């Protein structure tokens, strides 16, 4: 299989973004490993800038634009972490950012994006309105549209989280990520292929948004209608660029229910004293739900983010 | 001033307990430092075994007992982190632990103590009942009573948290701890005196439990009646051994109200994605409330613990 991104592409992305991101710690917990029945290594992207791995992909995409193109700015639509990632990346690169957000987005996210000096345009909370509004801005300003996940520069950026984990922890038997749009998982797939081919790659996916699971069964991209889960970062539909990479490498996708996601999230909060968002708890729930697969193994887990509204906790 | 604990005593305590505790990380956060107007270095004892610095003092006290005495076991009364610390230390030393807990103690704390195999005796939720029950056990079993803070071996153990912080971060202008019974602060005072005498030592104390503040003003131990604060780890009355050490070194004690404690706790959760208990938020609240004192300085903060009942959050 020849992948559209090379080993060197990923290393370049890492060099490009390293001055601007945190090298997040890999944490372990005897207690949690005991509960899971395997040795867990948590890559803590909840401690990443903007509180999520998305800072990596956003930065790599913005910094990879040719100088002249970059000056016209970047545009995206997102109600979540990608919006903040692009706003932050544009600020660091000194170029304008135009962010389309649904008017229903949480106040805290709007404030977060505004704090980086991005120009926010509100739209109706539909996919159509988002895309039209972004397209209009693109035409008016000449800004470059950056997809939250279906973009090779974004994938290369997200890949650096797995790269750092493999660099720090040797001989992982397995690596597991949450999967939504697929940027993080596609990045993990490439890094596993190039740097640690003996490691088995898994993903955890919410039962209420199981398009990756179904797509892998069908061998073709199969969106699900009205995805719904407490893991709000994983509702996006898998991108085709991501899917083509993931399907070549991944061992299995495990589906988990919302109650199990909440239980795993609470367990990590209580035992490890760190804050992870529901999406980040999905791979943890998948491990707890499939203990036989991971028994006695050395398992890397990407804790994808920690952005939680403390006023609306599920416990 | 000649202190009852020498530099060598503290170094010995560190050697004694190091194989059994976590060397907790020192975390920084650009965002939080910016908010505070100074450069903050957080010693994360919320990541310590049992979720609090108390593991240090408990272990040092148990491991410092002569072999023969140790075999008869240890006894203490506590509804909180000290109970778990002694239970864990006794388990590690392979000796019996007898823990007196008020029958009203939270289920999670009872379970925590029981999980280390300690023998729990329930008593009425009064100081008198606690002390009598512990004294009875002491007489029956020959176990050694270990005070939660008014004990030199406990103080030497707690001191190791500050020792590691000074070892890792040079040239701190200030160090601030929460203060309750005084073990952590007395330990910090000794370490500051011996290892970093130019550093100014401060403490944060809840306004509703301000016995240390009042005692320093009066120059003599002055308990307050019915202490009350959301910082439930800081309600104990300062011990005389601790006070005699602290009063020689400390620069000032800052009082903070419960709403400010909750605000500081929430800010740390949101910005740093780590879980700290209200007591640990007290020094943070003190800094935010006294910005002029710390402006532009390099400030060490002991985040004392992370044991919070997630079902009863104040936000």
Neighbours of B111 (CB within 10 A): 9
Measured between CA atoms, the residue of chain A closest to residue B305 is A273
| B303/chain A closest Cα distance in angstroms | 12
Residue from A119, A148, A140 nearest A53 by CA: A148
A313 touches chain B (CB under 8 A): yes
What residues of B are in contact with residue A313 (Cβ under 8 Å)?
A: 310, 313
HSE-CB for B124 with a 13 A CA cutoff: 5
Q: Is B275 on the interface with A (CB under 8 A)?
A: yes
Q: What is the DSSP string of A133-158?
A: HHHHHHHHH-PEE--SSSSHHHHHHH
Q: From B310, which residue of chain A is nearest by alpha-carbon distance? A: A315
Every domain of chain A and the residues it spans: 7-53+151-312, 55-145
What residues does A200 pair with on adjacent strands? A174
Strand partners for B75: B98, B145
To the nearest whole angstrom, how far is the Cα of A15 from the nearest Cα of chain B?
Answer: 22
Contact A275 B269 (CB under 8 A): yes
**How close is the nearest chain B Cα to the Cα of A149, in Å?**
24
Contact of A133 with A88, CB cutoff 8 Å: no
pLDDT at A126: 85
Which of A273, A275, A311 lies nearest to residue B51, judging by beta carbons?
A273
3-state secondary structure B85-99: HHHHHHHHHCCCEEE
Q: How far apart are CA A199 and CA A181, in angstroms?
A: 22
| A290-305: b (≥16 Cβ within 10 Å) or e | beebbeebbbbbbbbb
CB-based contact A265:A272 (threshold 8 Å): no
B47 touching A (Cβ < 8 Å) = yes
Which positions in chain B touch A275 (Cβ < 8 Å)?
Answer: 269, 273-275
The reply to whether B51 touches chain A by the CB within 8 Å rule is: yes
Would an 8 Å CB–CB cutoff place B312 in contact with chain A? no
Give the DSSP letter of residue B273: -
Is B311 in contact with A315 (Cβ distance < 8 A)?
yes
Nearest one of A303, A310, A263 to A43, comparing CA atoms: A303
B271: closest chain A residue by CA: A51
Residues of chain B contacting residue A269, judged by C-beta atoms under 8 Å apart: 275, 310
DSSP collapsed to 3 states, B3-70: CCCCHHHHHHHHHHHCCCCCCCCEECCHHHHHHHCCEEEEEEHHHCHHHECHHHHHHHHHHHCCHHHH
Q: Residue B37 and residue B297: Cα distance in Å, rounded?
A: 8
Residues in chain B within 8 Å Cβ distance of A276: 273
Q: Residues 226 to 265 of B: which have CB under 8 A from any A CB?
A: none
Of B76, B227, B49, the closest CA to residue B149 belongs to B76
A276-295 pLDDT per residue, tens: 999 999 999 999 999 999 99
- List the single residue in A with minimal CA-CA distance to B26: A25
Q: What is the nearest CA distance from A305 to chain B, expressed in angstroms?
A: 9
* Domain at B55-145: CATH code: 3.40.50.1100
User: pLDDT 10s digit of each residue in chain B, 315 long?
Assistant: 789 999 999 999 999 999 999 999 999 999 999 999 999 999 999 999 999 999 999 999 999 999 999 999 999 998 789 999 999 999 999 999 999 998 888 787 888 899 999 999 999 988 899 999 999 999 999 999 999 999 999 999 999 999 999 999 999 999 999 999 999 999 999 999 999 999 999 999 999 999 999 999 999 999 999 999 999 999 989 999 999 999 999 999 999 999 999 999 999 999 999 999 999 999 999 999 999 999 999 999 999 999 998 988 998
Inspect the interface and report whether the beta carbons of A275 and B266 lie closer than 8 Å.
no
Q: Do B310 and A311 touch (CB under 8 A)?
A: no
Q: Output the DSSP codes for chain A.
A: ---SS-HHHHHHHHHHHTTTS--PPEE--HHHHHHHTSEEEEEEGGGSGGGBTHHHHHHHHHHHS-HHHHHT-EEEE-SSHHHHHHHHHHHHHT--EEEEEETTS-HHHHHHHHHTTPEEEEE-SSHHHHHHHHHHHHHHH-PEE--SSSSHHHHHHHHHHHHHHHHHS---SEEEEE-SSSHHHHHHHHHHHHH-TTSEEEEEEEGGG-HHHHHHHHTS----SS---S-GGG-S---HHHHHHHHHH--EEEEE-HHHHHHHHHHHHHHH-B---HHHHHHHHHHHH-HHHHTT-EEEEEE-B----GGG---
Q: What is the pLDDT of residue B17?
A: 98
B46·A273 Cβ contact <8 A:
yes
Q: What does the alpha-carbon distance between residue A210 and residue A196 come to, in Å, rounded to a whole number?
A: 27
Is A314 at the interface with chain B, CB within 8 A? Answer: no
Compute the CA torsion angle A52, A58, A60, A66 (nearest 10 deg): -170
User: What is the per-residue pLDDT for B242?
Assistant: 98
**B261, B206 contact by CB (below 8 A):** yes
- Tracing tokens 């903007």 back to the chain, one arrives at A50
Structure token pair of residue A4: 């559209």
| Residues of chain A predicted below pLDDT 50 | none
**Do the beta carbons of residue B291 and residue B258 sit within 8 Å?**
no
Round to whole Å and give the CA distance between A313 and A123: 27
| The pLDDT of residue A104 | 86
The Cα A54–Cα A88 span in angstroms is: 11
Interface probe for B, chosen from A273, A278, A279, A304 (most Cβ of B below 10 Å), is A273
Domain with residues A7-53+151-312, CATH architecture: 3-Layer(aba) Sandwich (3.40)
Judging contacts by C-beta atoms under 8 Å, the chain B residues touching residue A311 are: 315
In this predicted structure, what is the pLDDT of residue A121?
97
End-to-end CA distance of chain B: 45
Instruction: Say if CB A194 and CB A14 are below 8 A apart.
Output: no
Question: Least CA distance to A30: which residue of chain B?
Answer: B49
Cβ-based neighbour number of residue A18 at 10 Å: 14
At A176 the pLDDT is 99
**Closest partner CB to B269 (pick from A266, A270, A310):** A310
d(CA B229, CA B211): 13
CB contact under 8 A, A274 and B274: yes
Please give the ipTM for the structure prediction. Answer: 0.94
pLDDT at B224: 92
Q: How far apart are CA A148 and CA A78, in angstroms?
A: 8
State how far residue A68 is from chain B, nearest Cα, in angstroms: 31
DSSP state of B189: H
> B134 Cβ partners below 8 Å, 6+ apart?
B75, B76, B77, B98, B100, B145
pLDDT of residue B71: 95
Cβ contacts from A onto B, under 8 A = 36
Q: Three-state SS string across A157-183, please?
A: HHHHHHHHHHHHCCCCCEEEEECCCCH
- Specify whether the CB–CB gap between B272 and B29 falls below 8 A: yes
Whether A7-53+151-312 and A55-145 share one fold: the answer is yes
Q: How far is A134 from chain B (nearest CA, A)?
A: 30
Contact A273 B269 (CB under 8 A): no
A74-77 β-sheet, strand order: A119-123, A97-102, A74-77, A144-145
How close A272 comes to chain B (CA, Å)?
7
Residue A269, pLDDT score: 98
Residue pointed to by tokens 């035992």 = A271
* Alpha-carbon torsion, ordered A314, B304, B228, B132, to 10 deg: 110
- Angle value at C-alpha B261, between B256 and B263, nearest 5 degrees: 125
List CB contacts of A241: < 8 A, sequence separation 6 or more: A4, A150, A151, A152, A155, A186
Give the pLDDT confidence of B107-120 residue by residue, as tens digits. Answer: 878 888 999 999 99
Name the minimum distance, in Å, from the CA of A275 to any CA of chain B: 5
Neighbours of A168 (CB within 10 A): 13
Q: Using an 8 Å Cβ cutoff, are B142 and B246 in contact?
A: no
Query: Within the 101-130 window of chain B, which residues sit less than 8 Å (CB to CB) from chain A?
Result: none
Assess contact for A189 and A270: CB atoms under 8 A: no
Q: Which residues of A touch B276 (CB under 8 A)?
A: 273
The answer to whether A273 contacts B313, with C-beta atoms less than 8 Å apart, is no
Put simply, whether A266 touches B (Cβ < 8 Å) is yes
Q: Are B313 and A311 a contacting pair at CB < 8 A? A: no
């Amino acid at each position: 299989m020849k992948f559209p991104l090379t080993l060197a592409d990923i290393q370049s992305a890492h060099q490009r973004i390293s001055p601007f991101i945190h090298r997040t710690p890999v944490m372990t917990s005897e207690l949690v490993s005991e509960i899971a029945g395997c040795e867990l290594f948590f890559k803590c992207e909840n401690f990443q800038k903007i509180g999520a791995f998305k800072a990596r992909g956003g930065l790599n995409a913005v910094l990879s634009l040719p100088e002249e193109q970059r000056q016209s700015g970047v545009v995206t639509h997102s109600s979540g972490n990608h919006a903040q990632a692009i706003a932050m990346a544009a600020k660091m690169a000194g170029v304008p950012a135009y962010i389309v957000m649904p008017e229903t987005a949480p106040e805290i996210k709007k404030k977060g994006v505004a704090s980086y000096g991005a120009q926010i345009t509100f739209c109706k909370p539909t996919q159509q309105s988002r895309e039209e509004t972004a397209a209009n801005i693109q035409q008016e300003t000449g800004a470059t549209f950056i997809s939250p996940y279906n973009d090779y520069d974004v994938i290369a950026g997200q890949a650096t989280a797995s790269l750092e984990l493999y660099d720090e922890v040797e001989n992982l038997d397995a690596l597991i990520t949450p999967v939504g749009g697929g940027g993080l998982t596609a990045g993990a797939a490439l890094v596993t292929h190039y740097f640690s081919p003996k490691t088995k790659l898994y993903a955890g996916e919410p039962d209420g948004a199981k398009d990756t699971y179904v797509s892998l069964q069908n061998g073709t991209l199969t969106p699900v209608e009205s995805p719904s889960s407490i893991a709000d970062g994983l509702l996006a539909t898998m991108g085709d660029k991501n899917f083509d990479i993931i399907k070549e490498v991944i061992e299995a996708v495990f589906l988990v229910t919302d109650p199990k996601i909440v239980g795993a999230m609470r367990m990590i909060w209580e035992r490890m004293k760190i804050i992870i968002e529901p999406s980040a708890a999905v791979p943890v729930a998948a491990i707890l739900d499939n203990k036989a697969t991971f028994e006695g193994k050395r398992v890397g887990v990407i804790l994808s983010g920690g952005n939680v509204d403390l006023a609306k906790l599920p416990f």
